[in-house]
Amino acid sequence: MRKLLIVLLVLLAIVALYACGSKRDNDNVKNEELTTANPGTAKSEAGMLVTVRELAYEKFDHYFLVNGSVEAVDDAFISPEINGQIKKIHVKEGHRVKEGELLVSLNSDVTESAIAEVKTGLELARTIYEKRKGLWEKKIGSEVQYLEAKTNKESLENKLETLNAQLEMSKIKAPISGIVDRIFRKEGELAIPGMQLIQLVNLKKVYVNAEVSEAYISKVGKGNTVEVTFSSYPGLTTETRIHRTGNVVNPTNRTFLIQLLLDNRGEKLKPNMMALIKMKDFSVDAALLVPSVIIKNDMKGSYLYVVQTKEEEGKLVAKKTYVETGMSEGGNTMITQGLEPGQQVVIKGYNLVKNGMRVKIES
């Protein structure tokens, strides 16, 4: 009986020892789980690692963009001055021509016949006039006969001059040097004044025209430097000055015209091509700039985090700082109030820090 009691006591002791060991193991597991679930606790004690920017005054320029279109400086809308059937087209589309070169000849048979007839009559009129003049100078014959001969001669001379002018109008010549871009009629068709016959364009110089909101009328003027890019040529960027500005505001869309003048090297730019014009509307030599992305907002306004030393502990902490912002450009925003030069703003880790959290600056 005594042996049985001793065996029971030994078994109870073993069970008790096993239960205590299991409890310690469970407590250790729970502690590890808590540490894993709250990594920020350990990080907070060491300091959240952040990157900062020390503020200093910088030059700040603000720009705005407007769309424009290309226009040839010399672009001729060629139509005849008189009605006539097209007898001969002397050029083809794509040909380069010089100023004064013959482009199209109209049928001039009627005019040429009239000129020949007038020349014959004029020859007789001049002979009669010379004879009447000689007699009148000798006081022979009447003054009326002399004046009639003179008037007839001058009338025929004027008529011949008019017919020669009409004959010249039947020869359509290039008013400028350039490229024959399009021919709108064919030989044998009728050419009519006011109806375009040929489009002739010179691409040596081009305008870029743009409509700018009247809100910028006091900030944009002749001579201002602008930057022009073209979607058709991604690598082509041109810096130039405003050639002229319009003097009238369009009442429909409240805009005014600006015009740039460009040398078209290689004749790459074509009329009606789209352009993008970048113009400066604000500039300051000393501004405090921060990345726009680090600025947050709440019910009180815009804020960001700066790093400062906690006096009683001598440790670095993040401080929530409210600021007033100005214009933004190129991913940076100008701070007009709330910060001073020399302060360090958090630019990396700004989404993780909280007000008063201990931080460590990444070197």
pLDDT beyond 90 at 146: no
SS3 294: helix
The residues near 111 (Cβ < 8 Å, ≥ 6 apart) are: 163, 166, 167, 170
Q: Do domains 43-59+285-361 and 65-72+202-284 have the same CATH topology?
A: no
Separation between Cα atoms, residue 262 and residue 279, nearest integer Å: 16
Separation between Cα atoms, residue 359 and residue 318, nearest integer Å: 6
Name the more confident of 13 and 47: 47
Share of the chain above pLDDT 90, in %: 63
Check residue 40 and give its pLDDT: 41
> For residue 142, what pLDDT band results from cuts at 50, 70 and 90?
confident
Terminal-to-terminal C-alpha distance of the chain: 78
> For residue 86, what pLDDT band results from cuts at 50, 70 and 90?
very high
Separation between Cα atoms, residue 236 and residue 136, nearest integer Å: 79
Check residue 113 and give its pLDDT: 87
Residue among 213, 207, 199 nearest 272 (CA): 207
Separation between Cα atoms, residue 343 and residue 55, nearest integer Å: 6
> For residue 136, what pLDDT band results from cuts at 50, 70 and 90?
confident
Separation between Cα atoms, residue 101 and residue 91, nearest integer Å: 10
> For residue 344, what pLDDT band results from cuts at 50, 70 and 90?
very high
**What kind of architecture, by CATH, is found in domain 65-72+202-284?**
Beta Barrel (2.40)
Average pLDDT, the chain: 86
215: exposed, middle or buried (Cβ count in 10 Å: 0-12, 13-18, 19+): exposed
pLDDT beyond 90 at 163: no
Q: 276 and 67 in contact (C-beta within 8 Å)?
A: yes
The predicted-structure confidence for 32-62, as pLDDT tens digits, reads as follows: 333 333 444 434 456 889 999 999 999 999 9
Q: Average of pLDDT values for 138-149?
A: 80
pLDDT beyond 50 at 24: no
Separation between Cα atoms, residue 184 and residue 95, nearest integer Å: 15
Structure tokens that stand for 135 in this block = 């007699």
Check residue 11 and give its pLDDT: 57
Separation between Cα atoms, residue 37 and residue 210, nearest integer Å: 60
Residue among 109, 102, 112, 107 nearest 163 (CA): 112
Answer CATH for 43-59+285-361 from 2.40.420.20, 3.40.50.300, 3.30.70.3270, 1.20.1250.40: 2.40.420.20
pLDDT beyond 70 at 21: no
Residue spans of the domains in the chain: they are 43-59+285-361, 65-72+202-284, 83-104+171-196, 108-169
- What phi, psi does 78 have (nearest 5°)? -100, 120
E strand segments, the chain: 48-54, 58-78, 84-89, 96-97, 102-106, 171-173, 178-183, 190-191, 198-213, 225-230, 233-245, 255-263, 274-291, 296-298, 301-310, 315-329, 332-337, 344-348, 359-361
The residues near 21 (Cβ < 8 Å, ≥ 6 apart) are: none
Q: Dump the DSSP string for 122-169.
A: HHHHHHHHHHHHHHHHTT-S-HHHHHHHHHHHHHHHHHHHHHHHHHHH
Check residue 25 and give its pLDDT: 45
Share of the chain above pLDDT 70, in %: 87
> For residue 30, what pLDDT band results from cuts at 50, 70 and 90?
very low
Structure tokens that stand for 204 in this block = 């040596």
Name the more confident of 24 and 290: 290
> For residue 273, what pLDDT band results from cuts at 50, 70 and 90?
very high
